[in-house]
Amino acid sequence: MADQATELNHLFELIHKGDKTAFDALFHAFYPRLLKFATSYLHSNDAEEVVSEVFVKLWLRRNELDRIHSPKVYLYVAAKNGSLNKIRQDSKSAHQFLETEHLAAEIPETGSSPEQMLLNTHLEKLISKAVNGLPEQRRLIFKMVKEEGLKCREVAEILELSVRTVEGQLFKAVHSIAHEIESYLGYNPASVTRRKGKLSVFLFF
């Protein structure tokens, strides 16, 4: 994670100097991730427009990039603000907040037989239903941490919440999902530990 942060900082430094190759590398690395994040707020077409605008503005304002201390947070905040501005411009988009997404990446492949594929599909649907049943803020936090790989501290900065609030919402999200699929799995897949004041939350399935 530290290497990724260092590499991202280096890309921002190069872009600040006008390096188009570095900009292209940043675009290819973060466009899909920011697009997925923006679709938590908007329809896919609107999300594409917002994320594209994030990168256009970043390039046009590249002379100001030396002021940014956390590039990853900057990118997500820009995508969030752009999405919220789009919602304000089109009130209909507000009703599309947090669209359904599957958590197929969370499900391990344990076999290729039709029976196993059917079981995995059923589990995937249960997980998706459980995630979609979470309150909006809790669902967004869960996806940002579990799918995007962001740290609670980064999510807190992006959403302008306290770290304690993010941790609390993540804790509740994991236990809600675990409760929904416990009867199917035959065990509770949630594991929550605290280490040196930090919260670690896992789903084992």
Quick: pLDDT tens for 112-144. Answer: 455 444 555 667 788 888 888 899 889 889 888
Q: What is the pLDDT of residue 2?
A: 55
Mention the CATH class of domain 2-96. mainly alpha
Q: What is the pLDDT of residue 76?
A: 92
Site of tokens 């909006």: 136
Looking at every residue in the chain, the average pLDDT score rounds to: 78
Q: What is the pLDDT of residue 119?
A: 53
Question: pLDDT tens digits, residue range 15-35?
Answer: 999 999 999 999 999 999 999
Q: Which 3 state secondary structure label does DSSP give 192?
A: strand
Site of tokens 């280096």: 10
Helix, strand, coil percentages in the chain from 3-state DSSP, rounded to 5: 70, 5, 25
| Residues of the chain below pLDDT 70 | 1-2, 90-122, 184-205
Q: What is the DSSP-derived secondary structure letter of residue 61? A: T
Q: What is the pLDDT of residue 90?
A: 67
Tokens of 175: 């236990």
Domain ranges for the chain, please list them: 2-96, 104-203
Q: What is the pLDDT of residue 187?
A: 65
How far is the C-alpha of 134 from the C-alpha of 136, rounded, in Å? 6
Residues in contact with 104: Cβ distance below 8 Å, sequence separation at least 6, in sequence order: 124
Q: What is the pLDDT of residue 203?
A: 52
Q: Does domain 104-203 have CATH number 1.10.10.10?
A: yes
